[in-house]
Amino acid sequence: MQTIVKAWAAIVAFSISVLTGVLFGIYPANRAAAMSPVEALRH
């Protein structure tokens, strides 16, 4: 049995993983940036 991966499926999977990484990376960074440094380090 041969496995066939379509180019569009690889692009969609990569895009979803990039979007997820960016979302879960930017959200906490923005929250920490809005806090004072002492509060950000405490949490």
pLDDT at 32: 85
Distance CA 18, CA 22 (A): 6
Distance CA 9, CA 15 (A): 10
Domain residue limits, the chain: 7-42
pLDDT at 20: 97
pLDDT at 40: 78
Would you say 14 and 5 are in contact if contact means Cβ atoms under 8 Å apart?
no
Token representation of residue 22: 């960016």
pLDDT at 21: 96
pLDDT in tens, the chain (43 residues): 899 989 999 999 999 999 999 999 999 889 888 999 888 788 6
